[in-house]
Amino acid sequence: MEELQQTNKLDFKTKFFYGFGSISFGIKNNGFSYFVLFVYSSVLGLPAWMAGLALNLVLIADAITDPLVGYFSDRTRSRWGRRHPFMYAAALPVAITYYFLWTPPESLTDWELFSYLLFCAIIIRVFITFYEVPSVSLGPELTDNYVERTSLMSFRYFFGWFGGLTTYNLVWFWFGPSNVTETISDGRFNPEAWSEYGLVAAILIFIGIIVTAAGTHKHIPDLIEPPERKNNSFTKVLKEVKETLLSNRSYMFLFFSGLLAALAGGIEAAFAVYFDSYFWGLNLDEMLTRGLCLYLSPIIAIFAAPFFTDRFGKKKTVMYIWAFQIFFAALPFALRYSDLTFGTSLFPENGSPYLLPTLCVHVVINVSAAIIVFATLASMLMDLVEDIQLKTGRREEGILFSARSFADKAVSGFGLTFAGIILSLISFPESSVIREQLNGTVPNDILADLALWYIPICIIAFGSALALVAGYSLTRDEHEENAANPDTKVWKEN
């Protein structure tokens, strides 16, 4: 059995290649979170409920493929190791299907377009899992160093945000404006804009996956190899998965913390366009300006996360910075709610020259803190790999990351649904009504109701997620003791 090579400080190239492929996941995540529902319902004419149903049905595929990919990528034996066969296999299917997602055939009926969306979304989600789960699972094998693991995840978040932001900003800066016609005053409603977006995004997705797979290929000889399996029965698979996921108390706390954070994140993503367009009254140029400012956040986090981890430890870093971030994220909405409800003047008014700079500073600080928190949480999950291995005898990064990944995706979908219910409860007007009957504005009482729902729900959900992190008990000393144990360098159980 080959031993897992212990490493301390990783060179820049290793971190770069490990993280670079996250541009692919960031682009895909951004597209699914912000654009797919809009394009299929508002541009292509599919009823919103059908588009939403298709995207929720995709979770069934995720429920099957996420844990399977995690399980089998842990146990694959090949000359390319455990992870790389899956990573290479993902590149073309994801890229090609992502392009076709945004370029459906013309003249499809509603149910044909629904089926087309469902098919493309399933293929994309399945094969992005083929890449994302094995690639993130490489991290604990590349280094067992406490701080370097946070640095690795910071690179991953840096490139994920960079990819998502770049394609998001290109929609406002290029694809939309360049597709304005005599009959289409807003290029975002021109199907050609989205076909161009799909082509550029697909190329970037392919490049991201291949660069990371090829760039980390040289590490394959140093990575752990599982034993040949003598019993692959379904019962044994279930037994092992259950044992792995339930054997560690700290993992369960992180798992349920992630569920609550994903729920709140789904609500945030669903409300983003409503807050930007109506609550803050931002135009396209202002949205682009704020989007460009956001590039500062992953740059700050890539340096700050390892620093805080080394200085204060991972748990304290998450507890302190997340507590600040939860309060700070809600602050502008709370101040504006007071202005709308009680007639105060605590926050710059819409149209004020101070509004955009204030929002830009706020979003840079807020997102920087969020990236630090979630990169550190991912690093904390990495450290549990050895802790669990000492109990099970198995090295199962794939299962640990895939279970967390599926749960997050499933619950974030509920967040989107919950957001839709809130919009119905406060009688938020349809976009056509806002344009044609309300002169592009929403009444202040409805905006105040939106903030009144949003603020406590996000504070409670994120606050509860933060509270669960307190149950994480693995210390730095305990991790370093685990990492030094020879039993964590080989797969002992068969």
For the chain, the structural domain boundaries read 9-225, 235-494
Residues counted in the chain = 494
Please give the Cα distance from 261 to 463 (Å, whole number): 9
Q: What is the helix (H) or strand (E) element at residue 308, kind and residue range?
A: helix 296-312
Write the secondary structure of 59-125 as one string of H (helix), E (strand) and C (coil).
HHHHHHHHHHHHHHHHHCCCCCCCCHHHHHHHHHHHHHHHHHHCCCCCCCCHHHHHHHHHHHHHHHH
Give me the residue label for tokens 């969020």: 370
Please give the Cα distance from 198 to 30 (Å, whole number): 12
Helix ranges (H only) for 393-430 are 397-425
Please give the Cα distance from 252 to 246 (Å, whole number): 7
The answer to whether 9-225 and 235-494 have equal CATH topology is yes
Listed in sequence order, the residues at least 6 apart from 97 whose beta carbon sits closer than 8 Å to its beta carbon are 120, 123, 124, 127
- Closest to 328 in 3D by CA, of 450, 453, 445, 458: 458
Give me the residue label for tokens 């087309």: 116
Q: Which amino acid is at 284?
A: L
Strand ranges in 279-388 using DSSP code E only, listed in sequence order: none
Task: State the Cα torsion 239-243-244-249 to the nearest 10°.
Answer: 160
CB 389 within 8 A of CB 396: yes
Please give the Cα distance from 355 to 493 (Å, whole number): 59
Helix ranges (H only) for 441-487 are 444-469, 476-484
Q: Which CATH architecture has domain 235-494?
A: Up-down Bundle (1.20)
Q: Which CATH class is domain 9-225?
A: mainly alpha
Please give the Cα distance from 449 to 131 (Å, whole number): 41
Please give the Cα distance from 339 to 448 (Å, whole number): 9
CB 494 within 8 A of CB 347: no
The pair of three-digit structure tokens given for residue 459, joined into one six-digit string: 């504070």
Helix axes 84-101 and 22-30, enclosed angle (nearest 10): 30
Give me the residue label for tokens 């740059």: 299
Listed in sequence order, the residues at least 6 apart from 490 whose beta carbon sits closer than 8 Å to its beta carbon are 1, 3, 4, 224
CB 245 within 8 A of CB 407: no
Rounded to a whole number of angstroms, the CA Rg of the chain reads: 23
Please give the Cα distance from 477 to 383 (Å, whole number): 11
Q: Which amino acid is at 52?
A: G
- pLDDT of the chain, 494 residues: tens digit per residue: 344 444 468 999 999 999 999 999 999 999 988 889 889 988 898 888 888 888 888 888 887 888 889 999 999 999 999 999 999 999 999 999 999 999 999 989 999 999 999 999 999 999 999 999 999 999 999 999 999 999 999 999 999 999 999 998 998 889 988 988 888 888 888 999 999 999 999 999 999 999 999 999 999 999 988 988 776 788 888 888 899 999 899 999 999 999 999 889 888 888 888 899 899 999 888 988 999 999 999 999 999 999 999 999 999 999 999 999 999 999 999 999 999 999 999 999 999 999 999 999 999 999 999 999 999 999 999 999 999 999 999 999 999 999 888 877 777 667 777 887 898 899 988 776 887 788 878 999 999 999 999 999 999 999 999 999 999 999 999 999 999 999 998 887 65
